[in-house]
Amino acid sequence: MAVSKGEMEDQISRALTQWEKEYLGRGSIAVKTDIIRNIILVQLKGILTPAEKNLAMTKEGLLSVKRIRSDLIESGSEQLKEIILRITGKDVISMYTDISTRTGERVIVFLLRDNLEEEFRK
20 domain-assigned: yes
Place 55 in a pLDDT band, splitting at 50, 70 and 90: very high
In a domain, 122, yes or no: no
Closest CA to 27 of 40, 41, 13, 8: 13
Given a cut of 80, whether residue 99 has pLDDT beyond it is: yes
How many structural domains is the chain composed of? 1
Please name the residue ranges forming H helices in 1-122: 5-19, 50-55, 59-75, 77-88
Q: Is 110 exposed, middle or buried (0-12, 13-18, 19+ CB in 10 A)?
A: buried
pLDDT value of position 85: 98
Calculate mean pLDDT across residues 5-15.
Answer: 97
Indicate if the pLDDT at residue 75 is higher than 60: yes
Mean pLDDT of the chain: 94
Residue 121 lies in a domain: no
* Structural domain for 103, as ranges: 5-116
pLDDT score for 4: 95
Indicate yes or no: pTM above 0.95: no
Q: What is the CATH number of the domain that holds 12?
A: 3.30.980
